[in-house]
Each structure stands twice: as structure tokens, then as C-alpha cells.
Amino acid sequence: MHFSRYLTTAQIRLLDSVSSKKKTLETLSELLTSQSVALKARQVFTALFEREQMGSTAVGHGAAIPHCRITGLDRPLAALLRVGDGIDYDAADGLPVRLFFALLVPEDATQQHLDLLAGLATQLNEPVFVRRLLEAGSADEILGLLRQGAQEQ
């Protein structure tokens, strides 16, 4: 099971810039809640923000995986935000983050949560793969790259 299984082009947004970590999490929250009438963007933002307060979800190479578990959710939800300029996201490698892979999973889906994070982190550890995502011209191309990468794992 891979992150791309839960992603459609409607949940991928390509922006030239974003002003802050807060604005990034707000944008991701909106993309995530567009998939579920039961979730509210403020609820998701708060959960992602609280998780981020525990430690940065930046994984290096200009990527981050903001994630959390949500009570009442019946399936994983995913969203992707690519920011042209990138932002300071407290990454251990000091690089600005340009790719944000947001993931929500049901409260009791601990193993699924870990498996999805591990699969995505493995892909994002490949600099060539990350470069292709950054150079992709559309949401369709990004989704295709993610799905192709998931098959190669």
C-alpha cells in the first residue's frame, strides 16, 4: 500500500510560493478536507500543527510529510503541495522544503500509518526522484511519477 493510492490530481496543488509554515498547513488542511464532509479544515490544521510541534516532519531533500491520526476517519486521506520557492521548515539538512506530502489516517490504523510513511520516505530518499517531482509540469505528471515509483519499490 502506498501514499499515491490515496491521492488524485484534485488533491495536488502547485504554488509559486507560500508565506509560512502555518499557511502551508492551512492549504494542506483544505486539500485534505475536500475529500471528506465529516472533517473540518480547522480540525485537521490543529492536528497537523500539534504534530509538527512535536518535531519537524521534514525528511530532507526538500520534502516533508506532515501527518497525523484522526478520530472518526474511516480511510487514509492524502494531499500534496509543491511550493516553487520552498520555505524554512526546520529540516535537519537545512534545505527549504518544496514538497509537502500530507497524510491523515484513522486513529486505530497504526501499522498502516507506519507503512505509508515508510514507503513514502523511501521514495523521497532518492534525490533523482525528488528532482523529477520538482520539475514535473502538472499534477498529472506528479501523480504518474508517484505511482510509477510505488510500483518500483
Q: Catalytic positions, please? A: 67
CA distances for 17 relative to 98, 110, 120, 139, angstroms: 9, 33, 23, 16
- Please choose, from the candidates 143, 76, 74, the residue with its C-alpha nearest in 3D space to the C-alpha of residue 104: 76
Buried b (16+ CB within 10 A) or exposed e, 124-134: beeeebbebbb
CB 99 within 8 A of CB 82: yes
CA distances for 114 relative to 1, 23, 118, 129, angstroms: 11, 26, 6, 21
CB 58 within 8 A of CB 49: no
* Nine cell digits for residue 135: 520539475
